[in-house]
Amino acid sequence: DEDLALLEAGQIGEDGTYFLPALPVLAIVGRPNVGKSQLVNRILGRREAVVQDTPGVTRDRVSYKAEWNDKRFTLVDTGGWEPDAKGINASVAAQAEVAIDLADAVLFVVDVTVGITATDEHVVKMLRGTDRPVIVVANKSDDDRRDLDAYELWNLGLGEPHPVSALHGRGVADLLDLIVKTLPDTSAVAKQEVGGPRRVAILGRPNVGKSSLLNKAAGEERVVVNELSGTTRDPVDEQVELGGRVWRFVDTAGIRKRVHLQQGADFYASLRTTAALEKAEVAVVVLDVTEPISVQDLRIIDLVLESGRALVLAYNKWDLLDDDRRRYLEREIEQDLAHVAWAPRVNISARTGRHLEKLVPALETALDSWDTRIPTGKVNAFIAELVQEHPHPVRGGKQPRILFGTQASSQPPTFVLFTTGFLDPQYRRFITRRLREVWGFAGTPINVNMRVRE
């Protein structure tokens, strides 16, 4: 009935798609050393600098949950990667581009003691061309005198500059008031789609064959172009009919748009990967069988695991595989990908089209597992049997007991165990292993959480 109301209100597509509201996103941009990190810490309300500026170093976290006056938002720190002097203009501009793509509003930070530099100008040019609200922050305005310098920034043509001292906290409360006023109640970019075609992210490092795979899939099958009334279609997604059903490939614009940056490419790729994962339900991580599994491949797989999305591994360029390499490949998979041994594997060639049809059953398996709900009765029967066979070892004269267990959520399956004490990490891994032995869960990460009851 609720669905019907949405349908009538034009907020739900004929294919059953609608959007779940997501927190608005604020992106922070600026060249290195303007004090972005300090400002991030201020906005997050932390005393100590958890975020530090280290030139040339990539910060792992880029997205934080922030709150001011009961309004919550997501803060994306696109300055997580600080370039050295060479190629700085290009990378700061790329930073701004990503920020504009991913955020509802942009915080542009300038160092008022230095004024506008040539690097800032690159960002300003991009920000002038966007319809996203931009807030100009004149940082390092430590006293009234600096406020006068801040007013010079009116010249940027980006509206009123806001003097702030991230170091001393001066002006930060006013800035936060403005931020929560500027941000929409729910995000227009990070909204989460529900229902409709299942959403797939094709991921992988450059040149593994992502766009070839997409083209082959879209080329041989029908590309579904249906603009549905009432729903805002994200132009960066493409719908393709494969194996008799329609799939939505998310952020295909990111795959087709080939940005080749000298520096910081990994960092921006991570940002895009994270954003694509947020929209997707299942990820196809494409690996190139002609090359050894790299740190970058593993990092992408880690991002999928962190996101809790379902996972399919596609080994591409199978047409180039010779017997020598094939032997190495098997060993590599066993060693480097043991932690995702549960993910369905398809051996394909995007060039020849070999075994491309196997992708659909792999996606279906992964999504079925991801959606699985085990009734509480079965979970507890499982626990009873497991504990009887293999009780938790006694620690310091005590033996933690599992009182009760339940699957708290699906997508991915997440179990909660109520216990009388902390379970050993090994024992928790054992439980996870047994859950997979009993129910399979091929293609989905699973979580096992504990609640200790005194």
Q: Given the rule CB under 6 A, which residues bind ligand GDP?
A: 204, 206-212, 255, 316-317, 319-320, 349-351
CB atoms inside a 10 Å sphere around CB 77: 25
Q: Which residue is nearest to ligand GDP (CB)?
A: 209
Least separation in angstroms between CB 250 and ligand GDP: 15
Q: What share of the chain is helix, strand, coil (3-state, %, to 5)?
A: 40, 20, 40
Query: Which CB, 42 or 205, lies closer to ligand GDP?
Result: 205
**Is 269 assigned to a binding site?**
no
**Is 274 assigned to a binding site?**
no
Q: Is the dihedral of CA 305, 75, 66, 142 positive or negative?
A: positive
Q: How far apart are CA 452 and CA 174, in angstroms?
A: 42
Query: Which CB, 138 or 286, lies closer to ligand GDP?
Result: 286
Least separation in angstroms between CB 94 and ligand GDP: 17
Least separation in angstroms between CB 287 and ligand GDP: 10
Nearest C-alpha neighbor of 283 from the set 443, 413, 102, 441: 443
Nearest C-alpha neighbor of 151 from the set 241, 365, 159, 204: 159
**Is 257 assigned to a binding site?**
no
Least separation in angstroms between CB 358 and ligand GDP: 14
Q: How far apart are CA 117 and CA 122, in angstroms?
A: 9
Cβ contacts of 51-58, under 8 Å, gap ≥ 24 = 51/77, 53/82, 54/82, 55/82, 55/83, 55/84, 56/82, 56/83, 56/84, 57/81, 57/82, 58/264, 58/266, 58/267
Query: Which CB, 78 or 316, lies closer to ligand GDP?
Result: 316
**Is 5 assigned to a binding site?**
no
**Is 317 assigned to a binding site?**
yes
CA 401 distance to own-chain centroid: 36
**Is 255 assigned to a binding site?**
yes
**Is 129 assigned to a binding site?**
no
Q: How far apart are CA 379 and CA 376, in angstroms?
A: 5
Q: Which spans in 308-375 are helix H?
A: 323-336, 359-371
**Is 80 assigned to a binding site?**
yes
Q: Which tokens in the block code for residue 34? A: 């303007």
**Is 211 assigned to a binding site?**
yes
Least separation in angstroms between CB 219 and ligand GDP: 12
Helix (H) or strand (E) holding 372: none
The 3-state DSSP class for residue 88 equals helix
Least separation in angstroms between CB 354 and ligand GDP: 8
Query: Which CB, 209 or 413, lies closer to ligand GDP?
Result: 209
Least separation in angstroms between CB 201 and ligand GDP: 13
Query: Which CB, 67 or 319, lies closer to ligand GDP?
Result: 319
Query: Which CB, 196 or 204, lies closer to ligand GDP?
Result: 204
**Is 397 assigned to a binding site?**
no
CB atoms inside a 10 Å sphere around CB 335: 9
Query: Which CB, 252 or 365, lies closer to ligand GDP?
Result: 252
Least separation in angstroms between CB 349 and ligand GDP: 4
Query: Which CB, 307 or 316, lies closer to ligand GDP?
Result: 316
Q: Is the dihedral of CA 22, 203, 259, 57 positive or negative?
A: positive
List, as residue ranges, the binding site. 30-37, 77-81, 139-142, 204-211, 251-255, 316-319
List, as residue ranges, the binding site for GTP. 30-37, 77-81, 139-142, 204-211, 251-255, 316-319
